[in-house]
Amino acid sequence: MSAVMRQDTRAILREEVIGDCRLILGDAMQVMPELGAVDHLISDPPYEQSLHDAKNSAARRHRTDGRAELSGLDFAGIDEIRDEFTELSSAICNGWFVVFCTIEGVAKWADVINPSEMKYKRGCIWIKPDSTPQLNGQGPAQGAECFVTAWSGSGYARWNARGKRGVYTHLTNPPDRHGGHPTEKPWRLMKEMILDFTNPGQLILDPFMGSGTTLVAAALTGRRAIGVELNPKYFDMACLRVAKAVGSARAMGAQLTAEVQEVLI
């Protein structure tokens, strides 16, 4: 009798619970329908495919100083799944929908959010004082990234920062940057955003967890979180980082203000 190859059709391939964080290995598009309601969705999904193609082009050279080239991106862009992802998010998110994107991607996100049941609010800016220069010298470097915000809850949108402007300034490469993921966001940035958009004890979903920075910030600030990641390498990184953050929160208490406790991150 010949062997029959069976494709693994499980949505959740592996699961770890660390403190109040649930980490899931799997495809977000398959996992999200199996999740219940969440209070907020905060994530750094893949950017537009055009950016991925530019970064991964073997013929493109960034540096003229002979040093190592910037690493490429080992995952696909958001374009093909943006509509489906927005629909799935609207179905389970009961509060803020916040996703990072390129400056050029803000309009594309607005175009899919506006017809949905979510209420598009605006694009915000993350200023990167130490961003990579334009190494080939052929034009201005990218000094900022964006994230779009939409309200998926009932009634008026609510957050903790009153009339604060949607401008956040954080180093891309602080001394304690983990560096295991090519698009890792600073944990201090994610902490500030979580303090602004969410409340202690609420449940945050990050469907594109990467190396776990959103969950790290959630653990440090007394929030619950679910993270989904498709790449086993990044999933393992996230488990280690979240475990350290949970340990720090247990030792020092939740960080409920913008003041940073520089321990065990």
Query: DSSP class of residue 245?
Result: H
pLDDT of 148 > 80? The answer is: yes
Residue 47: the pLDDT is 84
Calculated CA dihedral for residues 12, 92, 36, 200, nearest 10 degrees: 110
Q: Evaluate whether 241 touches 184 at the Cβ level (below 8 Å).
A: no
Q: Enter the pTM of the model.
A: 0.85
Residue 134: the pLDDT is 87
Q: Which residue has the tokens 């653990």?
A: 219
Q: What whole-number distance in Å separates Cα of residue 257 and Cα of residue 105?
A: 31
The amino acid present at 84, given as its one-letter code, is E
Residue 257: the pLDDT is 78
More confident residue, 182 or 121: 121
pLDDT of 55 > 70? The answer is: no
What would the pLDDT profile of 12-25 be if each residue is shown by its tens digit? 999 999 999 999 99
Q: Evaluate whether 190 touches 213 at the Cβ level (below 8 Å).
A: yes
Token digits for 6? 């069976």
Q: What whole-number distance in Å separates Cα of residue 180 and Cα of residue 182?
A: 7
| Residues paired with residue 168 on neighbouring β-strands, in sequence order | 126
Residue 2: the pLDDT is 37
Sort 179 into a burial class: Cβ within 10 Å, 0-12 / 13-18 / 19+.
exposed
Beta strand 224-229 with 21-25 is parallel
Residue among 218, 168, 169 nearest 198 (CA): 218
pLDDT of 67 > 70? The answer is: no
Q: What whole-number distance in Å separates Cα of residue 91 and Cα of residue 9?
A: 23
CA atoms within 13 A on the CB side of 257: 2
Go through the domains of the chain in sequence order and give each one's CATH number. Answer: 14-54+75-252 (3.40.50.150)
Helices (H) and strands (E) in the chain, counts: 7, 9
Residue 27: the pLDDT is 97
Q: Kindly report which listed range (52-56, 80-84, 120-124, 217-221) carries the lowest average pLDDT score.
A: 52-56
Q: Kindly report which listed range (86-95, 117-126, 174-183, 246-255) carries the lowest average pLDDT score.
A: 174-183
Token digits for 168? 């956040």
* pLDDT-above-70 percentage for the chain: 83
More confident residue, 253 or 6: 253
Residue 219: the pLDDT is 98
pLDDT of 87 > 70? The answer is: yes
Q: What whole-number distance in Å separates Cα of residue 209 and Cα of residue 195?
A: 18
Residue among 66, 72, 30 nearest 52 (CA): 72
Residue 143: the pLDDT is 93
Beta strand 21-25 with 14-18 is antiparallel
Q: What whole-number distance in Å separates Cα of residue 118 and Cα of residue 93?
A: 9
Distances (CA, A) of 136 to 58, 132, 139, 149: 15, 11, 8, 33
